[in-house]
Amino acid sequence: MQSPNKYAFLVCILCTLLFISCDGNRVFDQYVSTGTSWDKDTPLHFKFQQPDTINKYNLFINVRNTNEYEFRNLFLIVNMNFPNGNVVSDTLEYDMAAPDGKWLGAGMTTKESKLWYQENVPFPYKGTYEVTIQQAMRKINEPQGVQSLKGISEVGFRIEKN
């Protein structure tokens, strides 16, 4: 007769393999910590190599926030720098909380939100691509913006197979 510990070990290994294999669409996935606050003059950088010239990919921005985040939305400036020198800039707004104040992300004390950035994106040029993400939050009637944004603990960039 086999010991119960051996069965538990096998079940644990099986669950781990299933968990790892469920993320088969991931091509690139990286996070950068913002520390205790995210300064508006500190862009976050993500560099990656061209996956291929044929397929198209979906791009996401992942944000981890705590209850210290005091806004319902999040404004970001995202630049994609191509190896040939072209730059595509976007100003994006995301809802981080429902109108009743409930966070939209998944998790208990830290919420993680997977936010659409672009879909069906080709990478036509060989070489290194770079995505920079900068926070662009402002309070009403304060045109300078929020210098130090609290409550965002990490920001990630993710590429998935389409």
* pLDDT, position 17: 44
Residue with tokens 């791009």: 59
* pLDDT, position 20: 46
* pLDDT, position 97: 93
105 Cβ neighbours under 8 A, 6+ residues apart: 63, 64, 65, 96, 111, 112, 113
* pLDDT, position 2: 53
Under-70 pLDDT residues of the chain: 1-22
Tokens for 22, please give them.
């469920």
CA separation for the pair 77, 65 (Å, rounded): 18
**Buried residues in 50-77 as b, exposed as e (16+ CB within 10 A):** eeeeeeebbbbbbbbbeeebebeebbbe
* pLDDT, position 36: 86
CA separation for the pair 91, 39 (Å, rounded): 17
Evaluate the CA torsion angle 114, 117, 120, 126 in order and state its sign: negative
CA separation for the pair 38, 4 (Å, rounded): 49
CA separation for the pair 27, 136 (Å, rounded): 27
pTM (global) more than 0.85: no
Residue 78 DSSP symbol: E
Whether 91 contacts 145, CB under 8 Å: no
**Per CATH, is 26-161 categorized as 1.10.150?**
no
Could you tell me the residue ranges of all domains in the chain? 26-161
Q: Look over the chain and give the mean of its residue pLDDT values, rounded to a whole number.
A: 89
